[in-house]
Amino acid sequence: MVGPYLDHAATTPVDPRVVERMLACLDRAAGFGNPASSHAAGSRARAEVARAAETVAAALGGEPEGVVWTSGATEADNLAILGTAQHLAARDTPRRRLVTLRTEHAAVLEPMRAARALGFRVDHLTPEPDGRLPPERLAETLGDDVALVSLAQVNNETGVVQDLAALGGLAREAGAVMHVDAAQGAGRLPLDLASQPVDLVSISAHKCHGPAGVGALYVRPGLRLAPLLHGGGQQGGLRSGTLPLHQIVGLAETLRLAVAERASERERLRGLYWRLRNGLRALGDVVLNGRDDGSPHILNVSFAGVHGEALRAALGELAVGYGSACSGGGASHVLRAMGRPDALADAAVRFSLGRFSAEAEVDAVLARFGEVVPALRRVSPLARELATGVPLSKVYRCKTPLPVA
């Protein structure tokens, strides 16, 4: 029997309504076909792709011609960053600097690293201890040599939400392209490209109850990128490859449902979030890694007085997260950048909720942590020190604030 699943930031179960739409596209009689083919089946498939682009664009407040289908947010991030860099590298332009945040996902940090080989300098900004990037910190580093700024709408480990209106406005004033990784935010939080100063947006279906293996990069019409994949010239040559019709339709239906149900779902998830957070707080010495106004589907906390490796071993196969699902292990680079000492970062757990999360699941997880954490603290020297009244910051030799969950 499958236990409680609170790792939706890693991947989500596909909504049955999305599955139904996808299956229709796999049926030979109903809609099977290659969108690039000139026969009737191809025309029907091409029309489905066009409708899907309209749906995705509407969810983002953009134009259908700006939607470029990809295999997911990782490819979209790469296309946004390296596509911009390669396009500019082939031209005589002084814009040879890229700016990002130290807490970004590896799908952003690694393309940034790769851009150095093209002659670009990369500036990694440090957030506040709560994970937010103050606009004035971005303003300090911007100049007429900055080509692109890349930030996540919602951090995948902490749920921290960035002020895209302010940050994007600064990037636009400096003449830089603004890229947003919206893998965790698309559908969950409003993102209106008609009014917000954002040029590129990466999304992925499997983060919001759609299928794995499909995503999109929204490219503001008129913005030029160099393609990373070459082949048959599909999608205006920007991303070659046969379009996976059923996946694309699945992504569109995923976003349509998410936007339609966003308000009620956000309220429901916020209730579950506080039920979980209050239950964990009762354990004592639980540190919040994030902010009260973050996305309600992610809660990241560190359990003081507990050894991280022992905690993971004791929890066994319980479906919660430890840092990013795409990380290679070790203390989280996100929490380190927020000033958390390694021992606390290593004892962090990410709980992430989804459309099918229920109170019973939350309560089952709380019951498990209610058994495990006290048991581990009984054999922990750090916990004994905390029990004598020594402040958390002194026990962990931490210079940044350690907010209690």
Q: Which residues are catalytic?
A: 326
Cβ–Cβ < 8 Å for 98, 116 = no
Cβ–Cβ < 8 Å for 8, 322 = no
User: What is the residue-wise DSSP string for 285-354?
Assistant: SEEE-S-TTS-TTEEEEEETTS-HHHHHHHHTT-B-BSS-TTS-SSS-HHHHHTT--HHHHHTEEEEE--
Closest C-alpha to 69, from 195, 197, 255, 209? 255
For residues 81, 331, 295, 187, the Cα torsion angle rounded to the nearest 10 degrees is 40
Q: Distance (Å, rounded) from C-alpha 204 to C-alpha 216?
A: 7
Q: Distance (Å, rounded) from C-alpha 342 to C-alpha 329?
A: 13
Neighbours of 404 (CB within 10 A): 12
| CA–CA distances in Å: residue 172 to residues 80, 175, 176, 184 | 16, 5, 6, 23
> What is the rounded radius of gyration, in angstroms, for the C-alpha atoms of the chain?
22
